[in-house]
Structures are given as structure tokens and as C-alpha cells.
A and B are shown apart, each in its own frame.
Chain A
Amino acid sequence: GNAATNSNTKVLKLALEIAPNALTTEMAQKAADQIKEETNGSVTVEIYPSGQLGSQRDFIESMMLGTIEIGYVSASSVENFEPEFVLYDIPFTVFGPEHAEVLWDSEISQQVQQKFLEEQGIRTLGMIDCGPRNIYTTVEVRSAADFSKLTMRTADVAGLINLFNALDANPTVTAFNEIYTAMQTGVVNGFEIGLESVLSNNLQEVVDYCVETCHTYTIDCFLMSERAYQRLTPEEQEIVTRAFEEASTEQRKAFNENLAGYKERLASAGVETIQFSDEEMSKVIEMAQPAIEKSISGIFNTAIVEEIRAMG
């Protein structure tokens, strides 16, 4: 129904939960522009940010149903559809951007993605780096023992809840939109998300400390419905694949360049960053061991943990 598009234009609806001015949305827009130009307008990507078309779980469902074509989701939200996606989300296994990339490109990761494509009809278009997940609190947490002071907001994800139970923190499921208020009233005194999300939602306003636990490393991805992909001509497929690959590569580069600036913004908001000593950190990892095992039980062999750690 759009005046600018003619009838044989293939429209790809791309849904994101993040804001229009977020880095990844800008990269998606770039990919969209590139695709439109290189296909001479035969393929257009329409971008719907801010969760206008729903949440990440909906995006995956919607791609399977055929109501949207491309979705931007975190690897962890794929787990309910393809349990092996837990690969990217095992606590305390990935510790840096290169490490995350190596994991994404590894053979086992390629197998998992291939399986997702074959069994659920969803293709991965590119990996997005959202950095380490740290803990943001209003109470001082300087040792492994201090975790017991925390009432942690977590998403409704079993892996995270189990992790913070294992760390002796008190995990509480709260909607993302309510983190700000819950921190203000004190229903929770800590939460864990990526740094970019903290800043884009202004959560630094209600936080005093950032505890650099890097308990998981956030890997997000662009996904595309295979049905929609097969409707494209081979040339168009190549253009779309390349555009999102390039956008993702560029995002990873830009994100890590921006990281120092993000940290400065956090510090200038009066948030103190706390780093654990190696000794404390190993205590934390030891405490987390039951949760690590629980997260992969019945999906991967326990050897996978060391295998992934060895990639870094």
C-alpha cells in the first residue's frame, strides 16, 4: 500500500526492540539503504524499532508464521525455540569481543545455526556484539560473599534465575520497563544488562555501582525467515546476506570503539566501577558451577564449557 513502492517490490519488514537511534538500528538502516540501492528498489527493508511489532519472542514466532521477515533478537531468546542456542549464553565462558566472534564462527556454532535453519526455517544473517553483561547495583558488592546483599532483577529466563540463585543473590523477575522504578523504590537493588542498554534507558540515573562480572557475553543476531529468503532471486539473496554481514561487522567494530565513551558516560553519571580480584572472581565462578551445569544439562556435554573458554 505504500506510494513509493511499486507492486513487484519485495518488502522485508525488520523488527527491533531497541530505539531508532541505537547503534544497531542505525546499522540496520544502513543495510536497508544498501539493499534498496543495489537491488534498484526491487527489495525494500522497512524498519520497525522500539518494539512496535512486539517483543523478541514474538519476532521469532512471527518469522515462522510469515508476519515479519527479519528480526533482531538476542541469542538467548532463541533458546526456547532451539535449546542449543544456550551455547552463546553459558555463564562465565566468554570474556571479550574477539572471543565472542571466534565462538560465533566456530564449527559447533555453525552446526547449531544450520540446525536452526533446517528445523525451524530461520536463517542467521549476522552477529551483533552487545558486550559483557555486568551487574548494576545501589549497594557495594566487592566480594563473592557480597552477592547475598543483592535482590537482583532478572528477565524471565531460567538460566539467569538459576545463576543468581547459585550466587546467593535473590533473583526477582521484573519487566524491563519497570527496572527504573523498581530500583528507585528498592523492590530490587541490582540488575544485569549490557552497558549500551543501561545508557539508552538512562538507568545510570538509579545506579551507584557497576560490578564487572562479565557473567555472560551478550551476542545478538539478525534472523531472517527462510521462506522470505527463498522468495528472493539468487542475486537479491547475495545482496541481502552481504548487506547484513557488513552491517554486523561494522556494528561490532563501532561498538567496541564506542565502549570507552560509554564507560566515560557511566563514570560521569557518578557510577563507580568495581572489579573483582582474580581470587574473588574464581570464587564467583566456583559458586556458579551448579548453574553452569544446569544450563547445559541434557543439551551439551560438560566438556563444552572448557572448549568455549579455550577459544578465547
Chain B
Amino acid sequence: MKAVFDIYDKVLKILLCCATGGFVAICLLQVFFRFVLQNSLVWSQEACNLLFFLSIFLGAAVCVTERRHITIDLVLEYLPFRVKRYWYLLIYAIMFIFSVYMVFNGYSMALTFAHQITSTLKLSYYHVYLSIPITCILMAINVVRAAAYDFFVTYAPKNDPSRNKEGGAA
């Protein structure tokens, strides 16, 4: 199982790297064509925007397992260890419901606007919007993984620092 998810994580990061590297390269190409060749690219801006969008949505999914989503940890810091296990489960449940809601509505967007095309690349919005449910499925998977890890490993009773300090006397 761990091996599978290692590959899964790696693939996501490679995709993220390609999307990011892609908009960087296209943005540079855009300057080069306009300023040096005096002949602007038609599709570059839209391509940059779409890759940027992809990197945000894919990145947001990866941020879940990488614990990179911005959080106000005012209350979290003061919670007793025993409570944290269930507290985090509640937080992950909210994140999971949101991700699933996005999957359904994102798919509905893709179907509704399948006939719409983008201005310069002439892509179908079906494909553009389809990346939302797909990245949100990845996000939902990552939420479940993070939740499981925190419940069974990070905040498992055996890892309670106070219990370990007392040598398990409780």
C-alpha cells in the first residue's frame, strides 16, 4: 500500500512540476516572441492561465498530504493529546465533504459547458472544467490518507508524549 502511494505522490508532483515549468517557459517565450522577434504568440497568455489554474488545483490536492494548507492553529496548540485524534477527524471530515461537493459540481460544470470553447486555444471547456473534479478526487483521496495517518499514527494513544514520559503508568 505504501509503495503504491509513494508512486502516486511522485506522479502528482511530476505533473505539478510540468504544469509549473510549463507556464514559466511559456511566459518567457511570450516575452521573447514579442520583444525579440516582434511577433507575438496568439495562444501564450491563455496557455499560461490554464496551466496556472491546473497548478493551483493540483497543488491544493498535494498540499493536503504535505500539510501545506494555511491554518490558524490558535486552538489546536492547546488541545490535550487525547482530544486531538478526534478533533482532527472532524476537521478532515469537513475537508472531505467539501472535496466531494467540488467533485460533483465540477463534473456538472464540465457537462454544462462542453460546447463552450476557450478564446485562443479553442479547447473545449469540457476538458478545462474536467480538471476540477479530477483534482478534487485526488484531494479527497489525500484527505482520507492524511486523516488515517493522523488517527492511527500521529495521534495514536501509544504516541502520547505524556504517557511515554510516565512510562505508560496510566
Contacts and interface: CB of A to CB of B under 8 A. Distances in A.
Given a CB threshold of 8 Å, the question of whether A touches B is answered with yes
B164 interface: no
A124 interface: no
B162 interface: no
A158 B119 CA distance: 6
A80 B118 contact: yes
A104 to B, nearest CB: 23
Contact of A80 (B40, B42, B117): B117
Given A65-B112, A151-B34, A156-B46, A171 B40 contact: yes
A157 B119 contact: yes
Contacts of B46: 156, 173
A213 interface: no
A198 interface: no
Contacts, number: 46
A170 B115 contact: no
Main secondary structure of the interface of B (DSSP, over half): loop
A246 B34 CA distance: 46
A235 B17 CA distance: 58
B39 interface: yes
Contacts of A173: 40, 44-46, 120
Contacts of A151: 34, 40
Interface in A122-171: 151, 156-158, 161-162, 165, 170-171
Given A80-B118, A81-B115, A158 B42 contact: yes
A17 interface: no
Contact of B119 (A120, A156, A172): A156
Interface string A103-131: 00000000000000001100000000000
Interface residues of B, number: 17
B119 to A, nearest CB: 5
B119 A170 contact: no
A135 to B, nearest CB: 16
Is the interface on chain A under 10, 10 to 19, 20 to 34, or 35 or more residues? 10 to 19
A172 B31 CA distance: 10
Contacts of A171: 40, 42
Given A80-B117, A80-B118, A157-B120, A64 B42 contact: no
A87 to B, nearest CB: 17
Given A80-B116, A156-B45, A170 B39 contact: yes
Contacts of B34: 151, 170, 172
A165 B116 CA distance: 25
B23 to A, nearest CB: 14
Contacts of A80: 116-119
A172 B40 contact: yes
Nearest to B46: A156
Interface of A: 61, 64-65, 80-81, 83, 119-120, 151, 156-158, 161-162, 165, 170-173
Interface of B: 34, 38-40, 42, 44-46, 112-113, 115-120, 122
26 contacts: A61-B116, A64-B112, A64-B113, A65-B112, A80-B116, A81-B116, A83-B117, A119-B115, A120-B115, A156-B45, A156-B46, A156-B120, A157-B120, A158-B119, A161-B40, A161-B120, A165-B39, A165-B40, A170-B34, A170-B38, A170-B39, A171-B40, A171-B42, A172-B34, A173-B40, A173-B44
